Every structure is written in structure tokens, then in C-alpha cells.
């Protein structure tokens, strides 16, 4: 009797343990009964099920990362590019996810990868290489995320959180062609800038020359005017001085002429002794005698 009671106690303990299960933080769970889903969406905490008849399966409810191998795509002008990308995803519907993948993350990643690649292929095929180089990456990833999210929710019970392109590489032959075209475009732009700069420099130089000629002409005009006014004033002063004392004025003019002729001490004049130019020299000699 005691043996039977012990067996009953053991069975009750087993039944109790088998009827309870714990969902940990960062997980979600569903309950199966004979392979059929009877309950989904169990959140973290202690839950109950029918012992030995029902079983629970827990899934990682955190955001997961799919690292895909680089894939080659063709642009709208049939030029190939190598694209390296990754996908952030999480389980959105436990039941749909279990039916599609049996709860296997590797199988889910294998089924999600072609969905993302097909969406990327469509986007790259619709764009030229120049558009990709110019920076259409953000637009591409957002469109791909929306497209793959719709398909993944419907077919896999997965929510595509983000799609990111890590790198876009050009094959060697394409890279050389792109670099040559870029060099040609930059050279053409540089030539245009030099031509524009040369034209602007010539315009500025011509304008400066014109302004210089105008300034010189105005300066010469003003100088001639000032000289004329000075000469007129000098002539008036000379005339006034001459009117006051003609003899002194003649003497002063002769001294100025002597100074101009002999200022360097090397001047030689050949004149007659009674020359008008030597008048005051002779008068001075006579007065000394």
C-alpha cells in the first residue's frame, strides 16, 4: 500500500511539473496539442498546459540579424555591381512562423534571404549606375524593407525591421570604366572653369586698362590746367615785377640764366666780350675798376 502511495505521489509530481512551463524574458511561446496549435502569444512568466497531451515551444522574440552573402545585381544599363547587405527581423506571428519554419531560425533565414534578394534585384534593375553612385541607397533600402515586410509577414510570420546595404562594389572592369568617365567629367569641368576664369580675367584686365587710361587722361588734363594757371600767374608776376623795376628784372633774369648755364661747373660758352649775355659780367668788372 505504501508502495502504491509513493507511485501516486511521483505521478502527481510529474503531472504537476509537466503541466507548467516558464517563458523567459525576450521569448514568446505557443502550445501544441497533437501537433496542432491550440494557443499562441504566451508572454514571459509561468503558464500551464495539459500534461503529456500538450507541449510548449518557445521562440526568441528579440530582433535578429540576417547576414547575407554578397550578391551580384545588374543595373538598368546591364552593368553589374556586388551588393553586401544585412536584414534585421523579428517574429511577428508565432503561429504563422511555426507553420512556415517549424520554429527553426536557420530555416527562417534561408526563406527570408531570397525574398530580400528579389526585392533588391528589382530596385537595382530599375536604376542606372550613376544613380547608385550619386546616392540612392537610402531610398532603395526603405523600399526593399517595405516590400519584404509585406511578403515576410504573409508567408513567414516575420516582421522585417530594417534592411541595410553595407557596401556596393563595382567589378574591376566596371570600376575602371567609371573612373575613366569620372576623370573625363572632372577634366571637362576643370577646362570650363579655367575658360570662364580666363574670360573673367581678360574682362577685368580690359576694364582696369580702360579705367587706367581714363585716370591718366584726367590727371594729364588737370596737370596741364594747373601748369597753365601757374604759368599765367608766373607771367603776371614777371610782368608786374618788370613794370616796377625793369632794370632789376633784367638783372634777375640774367642771374637765373647764368645759374642755369654754369650750375654743374663744366659749362663752356664761346661768346664775344661785348655779348648781351655777358652784360652784367662786364658791368661788374667796370664797377670794380
Do residues 14 and 80 both lie within one domain?
no
Q: How confident is the model at residue 244 (pLDDT cuts 50, 70, 90)?
A: confident
* Domain coverage including residue 88: 64-170
Q: What is the pLDDT of residue 50?
A: 78
Domain assignment of residue 139, yes or no: yes
Domain assignment of residue 224, yes or no: no
Do residues 93 and 146 both lie within one domain?
yes
Q: Are 38 and 53 contacting, i.e. CB atoms less than 8 angstroms apart?
A: no
Element (H, E) at 81: strand 80-91
Last residue in a domain, options 139, 170, 201: 170
CA angle 238, 243, 248 (to 5 degrees): 75
Last residue in a domain, options 120, 142, 170: 170
Q: Give me the helix-helix angle, 279-288 and 246-262, nearest 10°.
A: 100
Q: What is the pLDDT of residue 289?
A: 39
Last residue in a domain, options 148, 170, 192: 170
Do residues 147 and 93 both lie within one domain?
yes
Do residues 53 and 76 both lie within one domain?
no
Percentage of the chain modeled with pLDDT above 90: 19
Secondary structure of residue 284 in the 3-state scheme: helix
**CATH code where residue 72 lies:** 3.30.479.30
Question: Sign of the C-alpha dihedral, residues 224, 227, 233, 234?
Answer: negative
- All three cell numbers of 272, joined, read 664775344
Do residues 75 and 145 both lie within one domain?
yes
Domain assignment of residue 205, yes or no: no
Please determine, for residue 172, whether its predicted confidence score (pLDDT) is greater than 70: no
- All three cell numbers of 150, joined, read 509585406
Query: 265: alpha, beta or left, given left = phi > 0 and alpha = psi -120 to 50?
Result: left
The Cα diameter of the chain in Å comes to 184
Average pLDDT of the chain is 81
- All three cell numbers of 147, joined, read 516590400
Q: What's the pLDDT tens digit per position in 187-230? A: 888 888 888 888 888 889 989 988 999 999 989 888 988 888 88
Do residues 130 and 52 both lie within one domain?
no
Q: What's the pLDDT tens digit per position in 31-46? A: 888 878 888 877 888 8
Q: What is the pLDDT of residue 45?
A: 82
Q: What is the pLDDT of residue 65?
A: 92
What DSSP line would sit under 17-35, residue for residue?
A: HHTEEEEPTTEEEEEEETT
Distances (CA, A) of 67 to 64, 71, 132, 147, 260: 10, 12, 22, 19, 104
Number of structural domains in the chain: 2
Do residues 86 and 107 both lie within one domain?
yes
C-alpha dihedral (234, 235, 238, 243), degrees to nearest 10: -140
Do residues 44 and 129 both lie within one domain?
no
CA distance 25 to 43: 8
For 102-113, what is the mean pLDDT? 91
Amino acid at each position: 500500500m505504501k508502495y502504491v502511495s509513493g507511485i501516486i505521489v511521483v505521478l502527481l509530481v510529474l503531472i504537476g511539473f509537466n503541466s507548467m512551463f516558464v517563458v523567459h524574458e525576450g521569448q514568446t511561446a505557443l502550445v501544441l496539442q497533437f501537433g496542432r496549435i491550440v494557443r499562441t502569444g504566451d508572454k514571459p512568466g509561468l503558464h500551464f498546459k495539459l500534461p503529456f497531451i500538450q507541449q510548449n515551444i518557445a521562440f526568441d522574440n528579440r530582433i535578429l540579424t540576417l547576414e547575407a552573402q554578397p550578391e551580384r545585381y545588374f543595373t538598368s544599363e546591364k552593368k553589374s555591381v556586388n551588393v553586401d547587405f544585412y536584414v534585421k527581423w523579428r517574429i511577428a506571428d508565432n503561429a504563422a512562423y511555426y507553420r512556415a519554419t517549424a520554429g527553426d531560425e536557420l530555416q527562417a533565414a534561408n526563406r527570408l534571404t531570397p525574398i530580400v534578394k528579389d526585392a533588391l534585384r528589382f530596385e537595382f534593375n530599375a536604376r542606372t549606375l550613376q544613380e547608385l553612385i550619386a546616392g540612392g541607397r537610402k531610398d532603395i533600402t526603405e523600399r526593399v524593407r517595405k516590400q519584404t515586410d509585406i511578403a515576410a509577414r504573409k508567408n513567414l510570420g516575420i516582421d522585417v525591421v530594417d534592411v541595410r546595404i553595407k557596401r556596393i562594389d563595382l567589378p574591376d572592369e566596371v570600376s575602371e570604366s567609371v573612373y575613366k568617365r569620372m576623370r573625363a567629367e572632372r577634366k571637362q569641368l576643370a577646362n570650363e572653369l579655367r575658360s570662364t576664369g580666363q574670360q573673367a580675367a581678360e574682362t577685368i584686365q580690359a576694364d582696369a586698362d580702360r579705367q587706367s587710361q581714363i585716370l591718366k587722361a584726367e590727371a594729364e588734363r588737370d596737370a596741364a590746367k594747373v601748369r597753365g594757371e601757374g604759368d599765367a600767374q608766373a607771367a603776371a608776376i614777371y610782368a608786374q615785377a618788370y613794370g616796377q623795376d625793369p632794370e632789376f628784372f633784367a638783372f634777375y633774369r640774367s642771374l637765373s640764366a647764368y645759374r642755369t648755364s654754369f650750375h654743374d661747373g663744366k659749362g663752356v660758352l664761346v661768346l664775344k666780350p661785348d655779348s648781351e649775355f655777358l652784360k652784367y659780367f662786364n658791368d661788374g668788372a667796370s664797377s670794380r675798376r
